[in-house]
Chains A and B, each alone.
Chain A
């Protein structure tokens, strides 16, 4: 498959700077661990935040870190799409007989993010073991759904940002408010925040759909019917549709105007 070839090429490229990649990976892991410490220290003082204990937050930290680093590694093409536009590489994508989205996915990868990814996975496993959850097949599916939904939501935000950068030809820090902002927000239960903020991160940018809502299903509680919580990751993934449509529209616009 072509995608595998792309991955292979990126691995070979980063192998040219082996030491650099290793160090970057390591520093990414250290950054993730230090963020984790911040969460830990908070729980040393408060024991619970909202309805969550340390291990609830720990699972969220694990999910968010895993999902983010995965997206930053494999969807780098959307994440730094402005560079692709600026360097004229976008023109190059148009002259290849391959779908544009497929090519963007293949265009850039950042393997140093895998250091962070590793931390995220380990933390998630620890948290899942420590949380007292009575497991069923549905709960396992919902847990997996959290990761999938997380990846889809972050990817969608990246695609949205990429679409915008066609107009501005700059990477928009603006979109980082939502990506990076939602990250720190997601370590704690969303109902502790102001109403407008929790609504924003539930309905507009469905961050809650891959942390607070499905976690409520896993650990029990909540005021709504259980299936609402269980299916929330599926709802969250719908964000992809408008984002991709917007991006494709922007691409059409690019063909109409050039730069």
Chain B
């Protein structure tokens, strides 16, 4: 697969003017300002292949939206080169944006007071989509997202989930090669979240759309992406398959044990007690101990009488929390 997005040592500096304190200070600020340079992105390089679903993750203020804005052609980088679908995004803007679709989770691209279908028709004209192609695409989107009941309702009367479905459809009407999703599942209920995820997967499979997704919802990452790029403090910290990362951390297991009676203290070699309440305790294996079920049961039963136990792997959220901690973000 050829790479569709090529990011090479992109740097982006922002000059921030420092505000002086007080009324007098802000008055002086009109004439003389001090600036501080913030390096939002430092030598960011990565490439994304056609048809990939990539999770672009990192804590708040890591440089995610700056990267997305550069990829969309909204911002020009301070240095570095970038090629997307054969274009340099910030040059040749009008031709380039024909190939991308963007959904900003918290900002709408559709008209607030007008029935949704009219917004779609305006987009049709903006992107110069042919009538037949438009109809076909709309039909497909309607089929997968069940949109037609919403077509004639003004956007303001839709629920958050319905809005997000419409936003997705609006961003895809011109069949972009690349789709940027900025927090697409934020605030959605469980059912809608699943529907949105299914839809993203479907579009990726059906149209071979390359999808770049920023999110704080780790289940999104788990369910959708085959690759993640972790960014922190303006640098790429990890770039690769998510399952590799998961396996690395999956060695840690959390075991909840129910005992037959209440023990004062619980000590099992190689395990640490996370929580102990009456006759239930939560344990975790030390990094040096490999979890082995039979071995674990034998160890426990030597000293205690147990009723039940369950084992769970570390959650995706915890993996990320550990990652952030490791990189001191």
Asked whether B80 is an interface residue with its Cβ less than 8 Å from the other chain, the reply is no
Query: Contact at B98–A91, with CB atoms within 8 Å?
Result: no
**How far, in angstroms, from A88 to B69 measured CA to CA in the complex?**
12
Residues of B within 8 A of A256 (CB): 75-76
Distance (whole angstroms) from the CB of B121 to the closest CB of chain A: 8
Distance (whole angstroms) from the CB of A2 to the closest CB of chain B: 5
Asked whether B278 is an interface residue with its Cβ less than 8 Å from the other chain, the reply is no
**How far, in angstroms, from A258 to B248 measured CA to CA in the complex?**
38
Asked whether A99 is an interface residue with its Cβ less than 8 Å from the other chain, the reply is yes
**How far, in angstroms, from A17 to B107 measured CA to CA in the complex?**
23
Query: Contact at B114–A92, with CB atoms within 8 Å?
Result: no
- Which A residue sits closest to B16, measured CB to CB? A257
Query: Contact at B118–A94, with CB atoms within 8 Å?
Result: no
In A1-58, the 8 Å CB interface with B consists of: 2, 5-6, 9, 12-13, 16-17
**How far, in angstroms, from A257 to B75 measured CA to CA in the complex?**
7
In A73-107, the 8 Å CB interface with B consists of: 87-89, 91-92, 94-99
**How far, in angstroms, from A92 to B69 measured CA to CA in the complex?**
10
Query: Contact at A2–B97, with CB atoms within 8 Å?
Result: no
Query: Contact at A95–B74, with CB atoms within 8 Å?
Result: yes
Q: A9-B111, A91-B74 are in contact. Are A255 and B90 (CB under 8 A)?
A: yes
Query: Contact at A95–B127, with CB atoms within 8 Å?
Result: no
- Could you mark each residue 220-253 of chain B with 1 if its beta carbon is under 8 Å from any beta carbon of chain A, else 0? 0000000000000000000000000000000000
Query: Contact at B74–A12, with CB atoms within 8 Å?
Result: no
Asked whether B164 is an interface residue with its Cβ less than 8 Å from the other chain, the reply is no
Query: Contact at A88–B104, with CB atoms within 8 Å?
Result: yes
Asked whether B302 is an interface residue with its Cβ less than 8 Å from the other chain, the reply is no
- Which B residue sits closest to A2, measured CB to CB? B125
Residues of A within 8 A of B98 (CB): 97
Distance (whole angstroms) from the CB of A8 to the closest CB of chain B: 8
Asked whether B272 is an interface residue with its Cβ less than 8 Å from the other chain, the reply is no
Residues of A within 8 A of B102 (CB): 95
Query: Contact at B66–A258, with CB atoms within 8 Å?
Result: yes
Query: Contact at A94–B72, with CB atoms within 8 Å?
Result: yes
Query: Contact at A9–B107, with CB atoms within 8 Å?
Result: no
Query: Contact at A92–B107, with CB atoms within 8 Å?
Result: yes
Which among B15, B73, B125 is the interface contact of A5 at CB below 8 angstroms? B125
Asked whether B122 is an interface residue with its Cβ less than 8 Å from the other chain, the reply is yes
- Could you mark each residue 123-152 of chain A with 1 if its beta carbon is under 8 Å from any beta carbon of chain B, else 0? 000000000000000000000000000000
- Which A residue sits closest to B115, measured CB to CB? A12
Residues of A within 8 A of B51 (CB): none
Asked whether B93 is an interface residue with its Cβ less than 8 Å from the other chain, the reply is yes
Distance (whole angstroms) from the CB of A164 to the closest CB of chain B: 14
**How far, in angstroms, from A12 to B119 measured CA to CA in the complex?**
11
**How far, in angstroms, from A88 to B114 measured CA to CA in the complex?**
20
Asked whether B95 is an interface residue with its Cβ less than 8 Å from the other chain, the reply is yes
Which among A6, A16, A94, A98 is the interface contact of B74 at CB below 8 angstroms? A94
- Could you mark each residue 66-91 of chain B with 1 if its beta carbon is under 8 Å from any beta carbon of chain A, else 0? 10010011111000000000000010
- Which B residue sits closest to A17, measured CB to CB? B113
Query: Contact at A94–B14, with CB atoms within 8 Å?
Result: no
Query: Contact at B76–A255, with CB atoms within 8 Å?
Result: yes
Distance (whole angstroms) from the CB of A85 to the closest CB of chain B: 12
Q: A95-B72, A98-B126 are in contact. Are A12 and B113 (CB under 8 A)?
A: yes
Query: Contact at B94–A99, with CB atoms within 8 Å?
Result: yes
Query: Contact at A98–B107, with CB atoms within 8 Å?
Result: no
Residues of A within 8 A of B162 (CB): none
**How far, in angstroms, from A5 to B124 measured CA to CA in the complex?**
11
Distance (whole angstroms) from the CB of A159 to the closest CB of chain B: 20
Asked whether B181 is an interface residue with its Cβ less than 8 Å from the other chain, the reply is no
**How far, in angstroms, from A13 to B76 measured CA to CA in the complex?**
34
Residues of A within 8 A of B72 (CB): 91, 94-95
Residues of B within 8 A of A257 (CB): 14-15
Binding site for B on A (CB under 8 A): 2, 5-6, 9, 12-13, 16-17, 87-89, 91-92, 94-99, 255-258
Sample of 14 further A-B pairs with CB below 8 A, known A9-B118, A12-B118, A91-B104: A5-B125, A9-B119, A12-B114, A13-B112, A13-B114, A91-B69, A94-B72, A97-B97, A97-B98, A97-B127, A255-B75, A255-B90, A257-B15, A258-B74
- Pick 29 A–B contacts, CB within 8 A, sort by A: A2-B126, A5-B121, A6-B122, A9-B111, A9-B118, A9-B122, A12-B114, A13-B112, A13-B113, A16-B113, A17-B113, A87-B107, A88-B107, A91-B104, A94-B73, A94-B74, A94-B93, A94-B97, A95-B97, A96-B127, A97-B97, A98-B126, A99-B94, A255-B76, A257-B15, A258-B14, A258-B66, A258-B74, A258-B75
Cβ-closest 4 pairs across A and B: A13-B113, A16-B113, A94-B74, A97-B94
